[in-house]
């Protein structure tokens, strides 16, 4: 049993949920921007609620009153994200085994075989992900999550990447798989058909709160308000003068005419849309009496050949035998169309230019799956301790990407036969990978806490500072919000992007806000938080949001202003008395395959020549 109560303040509303999920599937349905994905990240431990309690089979995972907060890697959760994030250079078997490398080879093989059998892709065991269909990739991703035998499962829009034909088939297959698991499972989607097929129960969500729960039949036949009715394509219309007195009825029961029929259940409106659905034509009628009325007229027609035209005043009426009385506890919520919400982030955000997509986003999504669904260490690369050369695997915090690439190029040039493969992600994700047994030689952390934890847990023997950085305010080119300094973030209506509170840039950002309370008022940090419209899992994603105009200001490292985005952004300085010095810390992994070469590379980072290279990327000289 998974039970949770969560409260988190977002920009435009407060997420406030209390739910209980048994050994079945709950589907949370709502338009983009209502808080669905934020809820999953809170459950997974990627975000921290303002208040909350999470319990799985009697084990407390989070309790804000006592301060208990089990880290993501220890929550025993499987998290399936939208794009599946399979490693293209690994086979299906290797992808599924990635998260369980600390087990014996026999146990790994047994779990992989069971997981592949469960999802019906055992025959694809040696295939490459690039040769799989969308449905097959989805099942492999699910098998990878299930190989870790999670205590509960979270699926974020699991069918959104599939075409219509494949989606219809795969949703039925997925339902059978989920039913066989018998663990608490939460699926979030904006598609009612997905929800209807996949869920044992449904919960309709809007602006951070649950409007109605029940089976698909219960919700469609007796919607609590017009917002719920809009998802199920059920009509909900007011009758009489009694407060909250409404009737629900199906679109195919509605008759439409140009003149009133003089019956009890009749509503006047204008035709807003005419859609040919094959065997019938759907009219959408809107008026003062009813927000939206759907009427399915037998036969197919188009706008040029139809008894009705868009804009016509019409009367929709239905027989008394076809209505179902529904008493709502509040006035119907105005219907909001999919077009109003599609493509928006968890908190609605004005955008300019093209949609957000970049290689950084892809890295972040893969990292998210590694953290929650497949965190572990399938050995991709191994070191070569023999000879002067060899191969190193370096786990490098995302903020150090460009600088590390430059250092690696020079190091490899000076040491013929040496190759360094770098794995870039957020520090907390790299730490989890190593903790779960991933093979590596170097760990570079942007967070002192994670460096100390890695040392204390025996993942590295020691660590040293290798670079020094500082934070800046990043704004889009032209500075549309007119931000001139840190204080403006708490006084101007700015759309602010920051890192989540579990990553270094997120921690430093919040520390800067707290420091500024001394100069800008004791509530400055609270006022700034109210302007946050998006929280990202690494600093590169934060910077990309600003470069693409998906926010008006952000806190990032100075080194995030790379050549690729320099023309798209501007820098606003943070007062020195409030800023925070940020260091990168590096150490050799305790079970490194080539420890001597790894130590050579760390020493190379500290040479005057390398430190001069780092300064070219915006880092400060180490004191």
State the SS3 of 481-507.
CCCCCHHHHHCCCCCEEEECCCCHHHH
Q: What is the average pLDDT score of the chain?
A: 82
**Kind of pairing, strands 390-397 and 442-445?**
parallel
Does the pTM exceed 0.85?
Answer: no
Q: Classify domain 376-623 at the CATH topology level.
A: D-Maltodextrin-Binding Protein; domain 2 (3.40.190)
In the three-class reduction of DSSP (H, G, I as helix; E, B as strand; rest coil), residue 458 is classed as coil
Confidence of residue 121 (pLDDT cuts 50, 70, 90): confident
CA distance 536 to 363: 12
The residue-averaged pLDDT of 178-194 equals: 87
Q: How far is CA 444 from the centre of its chain?
A: 25
Cβ–Cβ under 8 Å, residues 61 and 70: yes
Of the candidates 458, 462, 455, 450, the one whose C-alpha atom is nearest the C-alpha of residue 425 is 450
Tokens 């804009």 -> residue:
311
- Please state the φ and ψ torsions of residue 600, each to the nearest 5 degrees: -60, -40
Bridge partners of residue 469, in order along the sequence = 582
Here the tokens at position 430 are: 């790299």
Domains 1-76+151-225+334-348 and 376-623 fall in the same CATH topology? no
Quick: pLDDT tens for 407-439: 999 999 999 899 998 888 778 778 877 876 778
Of the candidates 545, 560, 147, the one whose C-alpha atom is nearest the C-alpha of residue 369 is 147
- Whether domain 1-76+151-225+334-348 has CATH 3.40.50.300: the reply is yes
Whether residue 59 has pLDDT greater than 90: yes
Of the candidates 95, 178, 170, 174, the one whose C-alpha atom is nearest the C-alpha of residue 130 is 95
Q: Output the pLDDT for position 87.
A: 72
- Residue 178: CB partners within 8 Å, gap ≥ 6? 25, 153, 185, 187, 198
Q: How far is CA 509 from the centre of its chain?
A: 21
- Residue 607: CB partners within 8 Å, gap ≥ 6? none
Cβ–Cβ under 8 Å, residues 458 and 435: no
Handedness of CA 335, 339, 345, 347 (dihedral sign): negative
Quick: pLDDT tens for 165-185: 667 777 787 888 888 878 899
Whether residue 465 has pLDDT greater than 90: yes
The residue-averaged pLDDT of 559-566 equals: 85
CA distance 206 to 202: 13
The residue-averaged pLDDT of 321-344 equals: 52
Q: How many CB atoms lie within 10 A of CB 213?
A: 17
SS3 content of the chain, % helix, strand, coil (to 5): 35, 25, 40
The residue among 469 and 550 whose pLDDT is bigger is 469
Whether residue 358 has pLDDT greater than 60: no
Quick: pLDDT tens for 295-318: 998 876 655 567 888 889 999 999
Here the tokens at position 449 are: 């806490």
The residue-averaged pLDDT of 587-605 equals: 93
Of the candidates 508, 192, 538, the one whose C-alpha atom is nearest the C-alpha of residue 396 is 538
Here the tokens at position 239 are: 């009758």
Q: Output the pLDDT for position 155.
A: 87
Confidence of residue 604 (pLDDT cuts 50, 70, 90): very high
Whether residue 94 has pLDDT greater than 70: yes
Least confident of 56-60, 94-98, 573-577: 94-98
Least confident of 198-202, 296-300, 508-512: 296-300
Quick: pLDDT tens for 256-308: 999 999 888 888 999 988 887 777 888 999 887 777 889 998 876 655 567 88
Half-sphere exposure of 33 (CA within 13 A, CB side): 19
Here the tokens at position 605 are: 């980072």
Q: Output the pLDDT for position 264.
A: 86
Confidence of residue 84 (pLDDT cuts 50, 70, 90): low
Half-sphere exposure of 597 (CA within 13 A, CB side): 28
Q: 238-332: which CATH architecture?
A: Beta Barrel (2.40)
Tokens 């180490």 -> residue:
622
Whether residue 362 has pLDDT greater than 60: no
Whether residue 605 has pLDDT greater than 90: yes
Half-sphere exposure of 314 (CA within 13 A, CB side): 25
Whether residue 107 has pLDDT greater than 70: yes
Q: What is the DSSP letter of 45?
A: T
Quick: pLDDT tens for 221-254: 888 887 888 888 888 888 865 555 788 999 999 9
State the SS3 of 55-107.
EECCEEEEECCCCEECCHHHCCEEEECCCCCCCCCCCHHHHHHHHHCCCCHHH
Confidence of residue 359 (pLDDT cuts 50, 70, 90): very low
The residue-averaged pLDDT of 573-589 equals: 94
Whether residue 73 has pLDDT greater than 70: yes
Quick: pLDDT tens for 2-19: 999 999 988 778 999 999
The domain ranges of the chain are 1-76+151-225+334-348, 84-144, 238-332, 376-623
The residue-averaged pLDDT of 137-145 equals: 82
The residue among 146 and 585 whose pLDDT is bigger is 585
Percent of the chain with pLDDT over 90: 35
In the three-class reduction of DSSP (H, G, I as helix; E, B as strand; rest coil), residue 326 is classed as strand
Q: Output the pLDDT for position 340.
A: 35
């Amino acid at each position: 049993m998974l039970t949770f109560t969560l409260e988190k303040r977002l920009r435009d509303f407060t997420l406030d949920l209390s739910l209980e999920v048994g050994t079945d599937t709950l589907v949370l349905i709502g338009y983009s921007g209502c808080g669905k994905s934020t809820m999953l990240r809170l459950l997974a431990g990627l975000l921290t609620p303002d208040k909350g309690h999470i319990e799985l089979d009697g084990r407390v995972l989070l309790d804000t009153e006592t301060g208990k907060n089990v880290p993501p890697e220890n929550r025993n959760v499987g998290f399936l994200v939208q794009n599946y994030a399979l490693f293209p250079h690994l086979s299906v078997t290797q992808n599924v085994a990635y998260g369980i490398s600390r087990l014996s080879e026999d146990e790994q093989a047994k779990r992989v075989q069971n997981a592949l059998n469960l999802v019906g892709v055992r025959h694809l065991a040696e295939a490459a992900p690039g040769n799989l269909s969308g449905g097959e990739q989805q099942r492999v991703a699910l098998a990878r999550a299930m190989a870790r035998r999670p205590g509960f499962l979270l699926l974020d829009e699991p069918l959104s990447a599939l075409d219509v034909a494949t989606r219809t088939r795969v949703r039925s297959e997925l339902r059978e798989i989920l039913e066989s698991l018998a663990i608490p499972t939460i699926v979030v989607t904006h598609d009612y058909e997905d929800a209807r097929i996949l869920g044992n129960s449904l919960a309709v969500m809007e602006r951070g709160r649950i409007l109605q729960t029940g089976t698909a039949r219960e919700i469609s036949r007796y919607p609590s308000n017009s917002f719920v009715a809009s998802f199920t394509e059920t009509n909900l219309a007011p009758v009489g003068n009694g407060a909250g007195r409404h009737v629900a009825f199906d679109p195919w029961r509605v008759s439409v005419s140009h003149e009133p029929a003089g019956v009890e259940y009749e509503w006047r409106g204008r035709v807003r849309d005419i859609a040919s659905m094959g065997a019938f034509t759907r009219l959408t009628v809107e008026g003062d009496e009813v927000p939206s009325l759907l009427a399915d007229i037998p036969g197919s027609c188009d706008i040029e050949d139809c008894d009705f035209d868009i804009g016509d005043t019409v009367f929709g009426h239905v027989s008394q035998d076809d209505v179902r009385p529904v008493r709502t506890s509040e006035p119907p919520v105005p219907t909001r169309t999919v077009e109003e919400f599609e493509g928006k982030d968890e908190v609605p955000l004005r955008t300019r230019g093209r949609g957000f997509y970049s290689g950084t986003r892809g890295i972040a999504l893969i990292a998210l799956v590694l953290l929650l669904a497949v965190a572990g260490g399938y050995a991709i690369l191994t070191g070569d301790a023999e000879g002067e050369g060899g191969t190193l695997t370096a786990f490098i915090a995302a903020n150090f990407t460009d600088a590390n690439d430059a250092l690696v190029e020079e190091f490899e040039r000076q040491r013929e036969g040496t190759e360094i493969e770098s794995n870039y992600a957020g520090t907390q994700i790299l730490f989890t990978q190593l903790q779960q047994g991933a093979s590596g030689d170097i760990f570079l952390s942007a967070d002192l806490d994670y460096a100390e934890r890695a040392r204390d847990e025996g993942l590295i023997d020691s660590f040293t500072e290798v670079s020094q950085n500082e934070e800046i305010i990043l704004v889009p080119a032209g500075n549309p919000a007119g931000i001139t300094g840190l204080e403006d973030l708490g006084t101007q209506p700015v759309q602010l992007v920051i890192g989540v509170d579990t990553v270094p840039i997120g921690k430093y950002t919040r520390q800067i806000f707290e420091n500024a309370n001394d100069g800008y008022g004791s509530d400055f940090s609270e006022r700034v938080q109210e302007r946050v419209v998006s929280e990202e899992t690494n600093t590169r994603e934060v910077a990309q949001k600003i470069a693409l105009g998906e926010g008006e200001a952000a806190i990032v490292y100075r080194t995030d202003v790379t050549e690729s985005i320099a023309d798209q952004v501007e820098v606003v300085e943070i007062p020195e008395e409030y800023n925070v010095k940020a260091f990168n810390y590096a150490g050799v992994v305790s079970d490194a395959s080539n420890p001597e070469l790894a130590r050579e590379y760390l020493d190379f980072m500290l040479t005057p020549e390398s430190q001069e290279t780092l300064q070219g990327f915006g880092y400060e000289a180490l004191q």
